[in-house]
Structure 1
Amino acid sequence: MTELPPGVERPGAEVPPRPGILGSLAGVAFRYRGRVVIAWLIAIAAAVGLSSAFAGDFAADYSAPGSDSQQAQELLNERFPEFAGDTVDVVVRADDVTAPDVRADVGVLLDELSGAPHVARVSDPYDEPGAIAPDGQTLIAQLGLTSDNGADVPEEHSERLLAAAEDAERPGLEIALGGESIMWAEQGEVGSEGIALIAAAIILLITFGSVVAAGLPLLVALGGLGVSAMLTGVIAAVIEVPEWSTALATMLGIALGIDYVLLMVTRFREWRVAGLNTERATVATLDTAGRAVIVAGSTVVISMLGLFAMGLSFMRGAAVVTIVAVLVVMAAATTLFPAVLGYLGHRIERLRLPLGRRRLARTAEGGHVEPSRTWLRWGQLIERHGLLGTIAGVGLLLALAAPFLGARFGFPDAGNEIEEKSVRQAYDMTTEAFGAGANGPLLLAVDLTGMRDERGLSALVESIGETPGVAAVNPPTLNDAGDAAVVTVIPTTGPQDAETEQVVQTLRDDVIPTATSDTGVTAYVGGVTATAIDSTDNIVDRIPILIGGVVLLSMMLLLVAFRSVVIPVTAAVMNLLSVAAAYGVVALALEGGWFGQLIGIDTQTPMPAFIPVLIFAVLFGLSMDYEVFLISRMRESWVRTGNNGRAIIDGLAGTGRVITAAAAIMVAVFAAFVPSDEVFLKVIGVGMAAAIFIDATVVRMLLVPAVMHLFGRANWWLPGTWERRIPQLHVEGRPEVHLPAPKKDLEPVG
């Protein structure tokens, strides 16, 4: 039987099937396709309008709730507003920074900077104790900003400070600026979304060989992105949303939108070859593959909901933005996609490229499409060597996870930026002249309201100065009311050093309680370094809550979806192994060795504690996506044949091409993060790209089928008492009701 020319319909079954809810929705969208497309265009326009009218600013509070550093910040906000905001370090180096000409140039620069927006105070380095290095060649002046967070300072204002510093430089006078606001201003744009879409288009063209078939996933993904991206600003007006979460949500939305429609386009083409006309094939696609998409998307939402268990505002903001993106993608896949098929479905094979063609054939057995012979042979190979495949897969994952055992948690700072940036130059100049600890001073906020002993404050300063690991203590600065003081403490080690963390703990646990006993003085250790330490500890302590909650909810969903006890348990174990392997790859990159240098990390860098949280939440959801794609086709064959071995091979052969193509797109999408100048995004990109590659190859295509062959029919076991209580979702759909009458004289197509 030859392939039908475009626009010619092949008759299907004589009696139209009675589809489920998704199939019925697809039928409505197909028949009223014009109205559906217009509705999506209106939705995009409405989202743009809402964003223009109500969009809020990005903000993120990385402090740990109830921590010592947060209490210090609250005291500063209340009584020392000029010290409560972010600071900018103006680092100047010359042969002699006290020379009259240098002093005059520095004075002119500081006068100019004092008039810049958000600058609340400017210190005089020639009057400030410890502001000039012992060798007289380097000085540091501080600008106190009005914003609590450097990321809240408009980028153009920070760029104005950078421009002023650059203009003030001359031969013999080197100037660099450091600080969180400067770091944000120097983050570059890499056009990650464009790179991701181009890579996805190429992979789709190779997969389908047709411009029309390849364009459908891109078209639907862009439609969903048009709504979700515009809603991000509206969400930011309601809750705190970190700036980096927009890139994460956008990339995840693009990747999921393409993956889901990729699965459904593949199934649609199979239904067309099986003998259904365009409308019937659309309904059948949503009634089978569409169910898998809904379950898969739900697992991603569940994983992102796990971020709420962390109890951190910036995690909640990132979760909400990402969940909205996923829900919009699911809506587009179930409404916009069938509507577009109404226009392009009968032209699905148009504009073919000379890339070779996949041969789709319909078997005599009920009209099922014959799967790829290559994947059939791979499935049969795993069936013969299930134990060996299991041992090899687990061993490889454990080997990849090994570097994570030596991972060091912390927040990357300016010392991890590239050498061309001003913040990195300021960091290096400060380290060379004042010691590494000067890059991460501790800020003691002292409450003097109940002070009973006049020597209480001076005794505290003396005790801190005698503490091992403290290089210097600046004289305390009192506020106008005299009821609070700020004390700057310079550690001997850098912000990321484990010894600095030990100094903070020693001050909090021993030195401060002893020195303030019976004096009525209360002191809190704050500042950027202390806040990073507290935030890291807080996140690490909550990770088990996240993992436990997400794993449990995902297992319950799979239990209901596939009516099996073994499948959810093995899926959870394999996903955890996959996550551990991804953590190991990230840890290896952060070591700054050969692998790190390949992606632009040239110094040993700590692992931000929220990175493992995000990788777990996103990867666990995406891993469940592939699990649902794979197991739903296996269950479809199991229900039809009752043969476990055949079900595994059929499922692997039927989805292997889809999963590998989807994974390739995901890898390309997340790899687009790697060129970013921001370490956070670079690490997310490396971790997610590696994780998806590992999960789709080692786990889904090797480990899952190998383990399922070992378990045999037990894969589908469910206690008898549960059979009646668990609802029947039919995640695999009911393909038999859509199949045309069997015909035994059919030949391969194409």
Structure 2
Amino acid sequence: MAVDTPVRRPPEKVGGRSGLLHRVSGWSMRNAGFALAFWVLALTAITAAATVVGASYDNGGSLPGTDSQRVGDLLTAHQPKGETGSVQLVLRADGGLAADKSRIASMLAGIGDLPHVASVADPFTAPGSVSQDGRTAYSTVSLDVAASDMPGADVRTIIQRAQAIAGPGLQVEAGGDLARSASESYGGVSEGAGMLAALVILVLLFGSLLAASIPLLTAVFAVGSTLGLLVLASHFFPVPSYTAPVMILVGLGVGIDYALLIFSRYRHELLKDGVDRATASTRALDTAGRSVMFAGCTVVIALLGLLALGLGTLQGIALGVTLTVLVTMLAAVSLLPALLTLFGKRIERSVRKHAAKQRRTPGDGWRRLAAGVQRGPWVPLVLGAAALVALSLPALDMRLGFADASTDDPAKTSRKAYDLLADGFGAGFNGPLVVVSEGNQAAADALGQTLAADPGIAAVTPPQLTPDGKIATVLAFPTSGPQDAATSDLVQHLRETTLPALESQTRATYLIGGSTAASDDFATAVSNRLPIFVLVVVGLSALLLTAVFRSILIPLKAALLNLLSIGASLGVITLVFQQGWFGVQPGPIEAFVPVMIFAIVFGLSMDYEVFLVSRIHEEWRRTKDSQAAVREGLAATGSVITAAAAIMIVVFAAFLLSPDRMLQQFGLGLATAVLLDALLIRCVIVPAVLRLFGDRAWWLPRGLDRVLPKIALEKD
């Protein structure tokens, strides 16, 4: 494609300021072709390096100081080979499995010869592997590698070989985490659907495919580069595998959003009389560009606030998404100016042509909306706040955990295996408690007897000593399922009452691990550290807003409304995923989803806050008329905010198409928060609040004014 000849003129230094932003964007405009080539080469080189090196994701996570973490550390330390993965094969014959014993034995022998298979248990000889009615049995396929190192293709081969003997009267299914993950694939369908919908919205907004492609292209370069960097970083930091899809989800939304905000201001400046393309680019970067940089910093602060929680899994995700936002910010102020320079003439022609077709003055509808809200601000304020509070209430009953096969699609083999085991061996069979005893054999025997006598436990296995004889492990099968609240209550009762009493008698140490215990530990750790996290994120963000807008009320208003939008989004995902609205399989909310949504949404909410309020502040500084400033600020940004929000909503909502439940929760939570924030809060509640504040909105005590640094987002 032919490109325009770049306009060779130095960027205007608005207000006489020149900083890093001006130097980076100015260099990109003066050397547009080289800047674009740099991004192309960077993307190519990073992608090639990531492809050659490959990813080294770590899904282990850590919960320092918790019982479940200590159980995992003990088992790893006392097992000679460390912890290895396994696949569970479940067999069911309504007429009894005895008639198919030879076929089953032949199948298991064949699986024993497959790659990475260390051993295959015979269900007919292993104790407790056949149900009392003789119709259900299971075989554990032990692997010689950790679950994270087991290739998905080899897991699928095991499943296919096992199911080859299935037929009338004999059902064979595969269970366990490896079986679940082997059939899942992120596939790119969600990302593709989101990008296509975003392109349609941008074309409708700008009336030009070329103009619409600029923000989208900027986001694609940023996300593509960051994805490769994430793969490389996984060799140096513990990064979970699900960081990549979360990063893509946030990166596409934020990348398009940032580029759109700058491009919209560029388009606005182009339509002014006597403004050429170079000046329009400089002014857009000096206003919207500064807002984007500031908003990006608030997102980074919110994400880095997750480090205060001290949870390994969250830290890996936080660092990955933070890297995404940083690269996106860099692309917005370096790649985007280069594209505006290279394609500026064609963009200007399409912008002027599209503007000429519009019959109304831009922003008239938003002025009328703002004026209507200002005439009676209490009604929209009270109704809007009541709606947010009502949506937030279900979040008070949110139950955190980790989804297991019980929440899978009923058609998946992992879900079928789960149901077969629950039916044949009891509801608690799919989530046994792993109880470790540090003491002598008598202490281990006492543990087994005590657990067997508990009414909440259906069965226990005999104590199994590790090869070094230093610890013993007992599996306790609850009478309730892994996702039932009764199982969590059982864990708490054992830890707080039963085991401490037994420890005082035997002088041994007892610890409870397993999936349910780990979920409870994670939820407790998050709950205990959440106040620090909220204080760090809200406090630093409010301090930045105070410095920018020289106001006390604006940051307080922003913090409160952001918390309400986050609460409402968490309430919605609780209704859908925990209470099972719209036919969704009910289950717990993934334990780290709420804090991730809090960090991401709080940062993204600041985007619209900064973009809208900075324009209102700009008008107020020029006219000193607070009501007119609100009307003109909303008129200038309303269409851009709604378009940017619409793009984020479709990008986030597209992840509801993902087969992964965690990504579905992320997508719904983020889409809901952006919808409420952009339409209800920014376009209705904020104008109402600012009408009530009046000129007091911009008041700052003189002492604080002298202490705070001055951070300017608008032209002097």
Whether these two folds match at TM > 0.5 is yes
User: Residues of 2 paired with 1:61 and 1:355: CA distance?
Assistant: 53
Matched, 1:130 2:117: no
Matched, 1:163 2:160: yes
Q: Report the residue type matching 1:189 in the other structure.
A: Y
User: Residues of 1 paired with 2:87 and 2:6: CA distance?
Assistant: 69
User: Residues of 2 paired with 1:194 and 1:403: CA distance?
Assistant: 32
SS for the counterpart of 2:140 is strand
User: Residues of 2 paired with 1:115 and 1:521: CA distance?
Assistant: 42
Contact 1:54–1:237 (Cα < 8 Å) also in 2: no
Q: Report the residue type matching 1:719 in the other structure.
A: P
Aligned to 2:635: 653
Aligned to 2:653: 671
User: Residues of 2 paired with 1:243 and 1:16: CA distance?
Assistant: 45
Aligned to 2:605: 623
Deviation by residue 1:514-548 (Cα, 9 ceiling, x = unmatched): 33445353332122222222222222322222212
User: Residues of 2 paired with 1:15 and 1:716: CA distance?
Assistant: 27
User: Residues of 1 paired with 2:484 and 2:608: CA distance?
Assistant: 40
Contact 2:575–2:581 (Cα < 8 Å) also in 1: no
Shift of 1:718: 0.6
Aligned to 2:426: 435
Q: Percent identity?
A: 38
Alignment of 1:306-705 (within 5 A): 306-350=305-349, 359=358, 371-448=362-439, 451=440, 455-595=442-582, 597=583, 601=584, 603-705=585-687
In terms of mean alpha carbon deviation, does 323-332 or 397-406 score higher? 397-406
Contact 1:212–1:350 (Cα < 8 Å) also in 2: no
Q: Report the residue type matching 2:475 in the other structure.
A: T
User: Residues of 1 paired with 2:694 and 2:88: CA distance?
Assistant: 65
User: Residues of 1 paired with 2:75 and 2:121: CA distance?
Assistant: 18
User: Residues of 2 paired with 1:106 and 1:512: CA distance?
Assistant: 41
SS for the counterpart of 2:292 is helix
Aligned to 1:742: none
Taking structure 2 as the reference length, the TM-score comes to: 0.94
Deviation by residue 1:353-383 (Cα, 9 ceiling, x = unmatched): 999967499xxxxxxxx74111111111111
Contact 1:211–1:351 (Cα < 8 Å) also in 2: no
Shift of 1:164: 1.5
Deviation by residue 1:296-317 (Cα, 9 ceiling, x = unmatched): 1111111111111111111111
Contact 2:10–2:30 (Cα < 8 Å) also in 1: no
Alignment of 1:704-719 (within 5 A): 704-719=686-701
Contact 2:12–2:279 (Cα < 8 Å) also in 1: no
Q: Report the residue type matching 2:156 in the other structure.
A: E
Shift of 1:14: 12
SS for the counterpart of 1:20 is coil
User: Residues of 2 paired with 1:16 and 1:707: CA distance?
Assistant: 32
Shift of 1:190: 4.3
In terms of mean alpha carbon deviation, does 551-560 or 184-193 score higher? 184-193
SS for the counterpart of 2:655 is coil
Contact 1:379–1:648 (Cα < 8 Å) also in 2: yes
User: Residues of 2 paired with 1:151 and 1:277: CA distance?
Assistant: 56
Shift of 1:219: 1.6
SS for the counterpart of 2:621 is helix
SS for the counterpart of 1:65 is coil
Contact 1:23–1:284 (Cα < 8 Å) also in 2: no
Deviation by residue 1:312-367 (Cα, 9 ceiling, x = unmatched): 11111111111111111111111111111111112115568999967499xxxxxx
Change in CA separation of 1:324 and 1:16 when aligned onto 2, cut-off 3 Å: closer
Alignment of 1:68-217 (within 5 A): 68-80=67-79, 84-99=83-98, 101-148=99-146, 150-191=147-188, 192-217=190-215
Contact 2:551–2:697 (Cα < 8 Å) also in 1: yes
Change in CA separation of 1:13 and 1:385 when aligned onto 2, cut-off 3 Å: farther
Contact 2:50–2:232 (Cα < 8 Å) also in 1: yes
Contact 1:372–1:653 (Cα < 8 Å) also in 2: yes
Q: Report the residue type matching 1:528 in the other structure.
A: S
User: Residues of 2 paired with 1:462 and 1:116: CA distance?
Assistant: 39
Contact 2:464–2:474 (Cα < 8 Å) also in 1: yes
User: Residues of 1 paired with 2:84 and 2:433: CA distance?
Assistant: 14
In terms of mean alpha carbon deviation, does 406-415 or 15-24 score higher? 15-24
Change in CA separation of 1:205 and 1:175 when aligned onto 2, cut-off 3 Å: same
Change in CA separation of 1:404 and 1:358 when aligned onto 2, cut-off 3 Å: farther
Deviation by residue 1:188-247 (Cα, 9 ceiling, x = unmatched): 334222111101100000111112211110121122123111111011111111122111
Change in CA separation of 1:25 and 1:482 when aligned onto 2, cut-off 3 Å: closer
Shift of 1:88: 2.4
Change in CA separation of 1:643 and 1:317 when aligned onto 2, cut-off 3 Å: same
SS for the counterpart of 2:58 is coil
Deviation by residue 1:416-457 (Cα, 9 ceiling, x = unmatched): 000110110011111111111001011222334xx2xx5332
Change in CA separation of 1:161 and 1:357 when aligned onto 2, cut-off 3 Å: farther
In terms of mean alpha carbon deviation, does 154-163 or 231-240 score higher? 154-163
Shift of 1:96: 4.4
User: Residues of 1 paired with 2:559 and 2:494: CA distance?
Assistant: 42
Shift of 1:397: 0.5
User: Residues of 1 paired with 2:533 and 2:661: CA distance?
Assistant: 24
User: Residues of 2 paired with 1:107 and 1:685: CA distance?
Assistant: 45
In terms of mean alpha carbon deviation, does 124-133 or 344-353 score higher? 344-353
Contact 2:107–2:161 (Cα < 8 Å) also in 1: yes
Deviation by residue 1:365-421 (Cα, 9 ceiling, x = unmatched): xxxxx7411111111111111111110110110111122222222211100000110
User: Residues of 2 paired with 1:324 and 1:53: CA distance?
Assistant: 21
Contact 1:97–1:139 (Cα < 8 Å) also in 2: no
Alignment RMSD: 2.5
Consecutive unaligned residues of structure 2, counting only runs of 5 or more, are none
SS for the counterpart of 2:657 is coil
Q: Report the residue type matching 1:265 in the other structure.
A: F
Q: Report the residue type matching 1:84 in the other structure.
A: E
In terms of mean alpha carbon deviation, does 220-229 or 373-382 score higher? 220-229
Deviation by residue 1:72-104 (Cα, 9 ceiling, x = unmatched): 1112112235783344221110134441x4112
User: Residues of 2 paired with 1:232 and 1:611: CA distance?
Assistant: 20
* Residues paired across the two proteins, number: 709
Change in CA separation of 1:186 and 1:541 when aligned onto 2, cut-off 3 Å: farther
Matched, 1:246 2:233: no
User: Residues of 2 paired with 1:631 and 1:468: CA distance?
Assistant: 60
Contact 1:27–1:282 (Cα < 8 Å) also in 2: no
Q: Report the residue type matching 1:342 in the other structure.
A: T
In terms of mean alpha carbon deviation, does 380-389 or 724-733 score higher? 724-733
User: Residues of 1 paired with 2:509 and 2:664: CA distance?
Assistant: 41
In terms of mean alpha carbon deviation, does 466-475 or 62-71 score higher? 62-71
Q: Report the residue type matching 2:442 in the other structure.
A: R
SS for the counterpart of 2:235 is helix
Change in CA separation of 1:638 and 1:529 when aligned onto 2, cut-off 3 Å: same
Taking structure 1 as the reference length, the TM-score comes to: 0.90
Aligned to 2:28: 29
Shift of 1:556: 0.8
Shift of 1:19: 5.0
User: Residues of 1 paired with 2:472 and 2:296: CA distance?
Assistant: 52
User: Residues of 1 paired with 2:143 and 2:337: CA distance?
Assistant: 53
User: Residues of 1 paired with 2:141 and 2:434: CA distance?
Assistant: 15
SS for the counterpart of 2:704 is helix
User: Residues of 1 paired with 2:181 and 2:424: CA distance?
Assistant: 25
Shift of 1:155: 1.4
